[in-house]
Structure 1
Amino acid sequence: MENQKEHFRHILLFYFCKGKNASQAHKKLCAVYGDEALKERQCQNWFAKFRSGDFSLKDEKRSGRPVEVDDALIKAIINSDCHSTTREIAEKLHVSHTCIENHLKQLGYIRKLDTWVPQELKESQLMQRISSCDLLKKRNENDPFLKRLITGDEKWVVYNNIKRKRSWSRPGELTQTTSKADIHQKKVLLSVWWDYKGIVYFEFLPPNRPINSDVYIEQLTKLNNAVEEKRPELTNRKGVVFHHDNARPHTSLVTWQKLMELGWDVLPHPPYSPDLAPSDYFLFRSLQNSLNGKNFNNDDDVKSYLIQFFANKNQKFFERGIMMLPERWQKVIDQNGQYITE
């Protein structure tokens, strides 16, 4: 390879002495050796060197850091601190950061933004997540209950849903800016409960009526009526298996008394675990994706949109959201309680 490079340079010097320019020399060389023989930019560089009076055809010895580096050392540094920059790795291994970038690319590493999680989990919280998931997984294996499961939650739906866009810019130019949605803007609070077949019951709360225990108990009564009407098989057989998160209105004493009165089997849910709540990891994510860029004029517009959104989802959609629970339980166990990030 080195001999071939030097051979090409002899040819370039020959054409330089014949009075040809770099472009002409490049065309003649490629006509004989193929288009990939030498880049035109390389020809131009060598011609510039010849014009300066330097007719040496060998590469100059390079000073500075060596470019050879053991991939295992790079992996070890990343495993010890996955936030290490290419320059930090280069300094530790005494090579150029360009060399590290090339090796990382060959190793298949890409740089990603950290994913936001609800909070840093303490060891006791990690153990609680593992314990809950193990319990639910084993219970479902012994007595499958997912087709009896009804789950629900609340979500604010704002009038103006801003969609952040990507834009092209040149190096050094400022990126385009987009204002975040005003947290005090008009919005509607959606409460929804669903199972593997679809929506069982949903409602919109008046703007100035927050969710508290009294409101939640009223909602549970309406939900029970909807279950008796839409899912009579649940009330006639083994009964409802109910899932909600640990929001204060959901865990108050009066709420527990109401749930006992209804006779529903309430599943345990570890604190700070939206990744184990089907509404959060599935239904609301799909809803928010559909809302991006949408603007509404009033509550009725929002409600009409949400009604249509739910109506357009078939049973397979809802079934997928519920039936992925065992896989997520196992994943939490495998990850020693850490959050599922996607």
Structure 2
Amino acid sequence: MVLQMEVNKEKIRYILQFFFDKGENASQAAEIVNGVYGADTVTANYVQFWFRRFRSGIFDVKDAPRTGRPVVENVDKITEIIEVDRHVSSRSIAQELKIDHKTVLNHLRKVGFKKKLDVWVPHQLTSKNIMDRISICEALAKRNEIDPFLKRMVTGDEKWVTYDNIVRKRSWSKRDEAAQTVAKPGLTARKVLLCIWWDWKGIIYYELLPYGQTLNSDLYCQQLDRLKLAIDQKRPELANRRGVVFHQDNARPHTSVVTRQKLWELGWEVLMHPPYSPDLAPSDYHLFLALQNFLSDKKLRSREDCENRLLEFFANKNQDFYERGIMKLPLKWQQIIQQNGAYLTQIGQSETC
């Protein structure tokens, strides 16, 4: 029989710190403490909160002084909790501090915190990656000033369309603070690959590959032939005048020897694109972002359902939408240069138009 006894919170925190130092996980620590002091002594969330503090280097477990104004004390405690875990819910904060949930929300609003969607970043940039991003942006910006080419540009990319679409979390950030960054979740097995090409006027050509099929160089070259026919039909001004300025990222099927030969045969000028730079790819920062927002939280039943959703999405976008996506590039080149090659925070933010 477990002996029920009164134990102060500060003592429990010292015990939790002891288990943390021993290398126990939060669940094990909670089970041991409740086994000794009673089943309701600590919750799993409470122990996880303190373990997160310890991992962040905060080991002060003493209660804050009770003197002074309670409102200021609550605000300080709320801010401290958020600094440890930006994903913590306002209800968890209220439970931890034993104050009303609305009080927590009011305090957060007053000090300027609001929930923002986390930003996905694709890669930890090396020094060479950063230098490539800066030098290529400088070259493209100068080229566009001398010979504007964005209305001749055809851009394309691939995107997995998943049947079950995960909604990104929101985390606390101040109004003038960038959203938190998180790695993209792993793709589910139920998915089909969308291959699409477009320009400032709209969609030129796309394919939705059969279920389970991926892209290789041979298939990509076949797609480029089909894209050429679509450009000749839908954009005869590109075929008959100065030709296509072609933009793609550095995925292997795009840069193989056979693909480079195919692009040379087509006579298209291929733009430079720095590696690991979706923030400089219009499909990633504009088209796919809007598509993902459209599909957010939707469950697709079949490939046919995917096709119908895509048709619905394309039907709702006018030429202005595509033109804005392409014409953002000069600003993004300049921002990359000004930020010394760092990723732009616009990756992952919602397309509201």
TM-score normalised per structure 2? 0.61
Q: Which amino acid aligns with 1:326?
A: P
Which amino acid in 1 is paired with 2:163?
Answer: Y
Aligned-partner residue type, residue 270 of structure 1: P
1:154 is the counterpart of 2:158: yes
How much has 1:163 moved relative to structure 2? 3.5
1:227 alignment partner in structure 2: 231
User: Partner residue of 1:209?
Assistant: 213
CA-atom RMSD in angstroms: 3.0
Q: Kindly provide the amino acid, as one letter, of the partner of residue 276 in structure 1.
A: L
User: C-alpha displacement at 1:312, in angstroms?
Assistant: 1.6
Measured after TM superposition, the shift of residue 195 of structure 1 is 0.1
Whether the aligned pair in 1 keeps the contact of 2:152 and 2:245 (CA below 8 Å) is yes
Structure 1 residues 293 and 115: alpha-carbon distance in aligned structure 2, compared to 1, 3 A threshold = closer
2:318 equivalent in structure 1: 314
- 2:120 aligned counterpart, secondary structure: coil
Against the structure 1 CA distance between its residues 109 and 157, is the aligned structure 2 distance closer, same or farther, given a 3 Å change threshold? closer
User: 2:289 maps to what in 1?
Assistant: 285
2:331 corresponds in structure 1 to 327
Q: Aligned runs of 1:42-191 on 2, under 5 Å?
A: 115-163=119-167, 183-191=187-195
Match of 2:306 among 284, 302, 308: 302
Tell me the percent identity: 59
Of stretches 119-128 and 138-147 in structure 1, the one that deviates more from structure 2 is: 119-128
Task: Tell whether the 8 Å contact from 1:160 to 1:181 is kept in structure 2 after alignment.
Answer: no
Match of 1:100 in 2: none
* CA positional deviation for 1:115: 3.8
Structure 1 pair 126–293 and aligned structure 2 pair: CA distance change class (3 A): same
Change (3 A) 1:278 1:181: closer
Distance 1:311 1:337, change over 3 A: same
Structure 2 counterpart of 1:99: none
Aligned to 2:58: none
The amino acid across from 2:288 in the alignment is F
| CA shift in 2, pair 1:233/1:338, >3 Å | same
Q: Aligned equivalents of 2:324 and 2:224: distance in 1?
A: 25
Distance 1:292 1:64, change over 3 A: closer
- The answer on 1:268 being equivalent to 2:290 is no
Matched with 1:340 is 344
> What's the CA shift for 1:152?
0.5
Alignment deviations for residues 78-105 of structure 1 (CA, whole Å, 9 cap, x no partner) = xxxxx987xxxxxxxxxxxxxxxxxx99
Tell me the CA shift for residue 210 of structure 1.
Answer: 1.4
Q: Which has the larger radius of gyration?
A: 1
Measured against aligned partners, the alpha-carbon deviations of 1:254-312 in whole angstroms (never above 9, x if no partner) come to 00000000000100000000000000000000000000121222111110110121122
SS in 1 for 2:272: coil
Alignment match, 2:241: 237
Do the aligned residues in 1 keep the contact of 2:117 with 2:169 (CA within 8 Å)? Answer: no
CA separation in 2, counterparts of 1:143 and 1:204?
A: 35
2:196 corresponding residue in structure 1: 192
Aligned equivalents of 1:153, 1:260: Cα separation in 2: 19
Contact 2:193–2:213 under 8 Å retained in 1: no
Q: Structure 1 residues 181, 114: closer, same or farther in 2, change over 3 A?
A: closer
Structure 1 residues 232 and 216, CA, compared in 2 at 3 Å: closer, same or farther?
Answer: same
Do the aligned partners of 1:196 and 1:318 also contact (CA within 8 Å) in 2? yes
Measure the CA separation in 2 of the matches of 1:181 and 1:66: 45
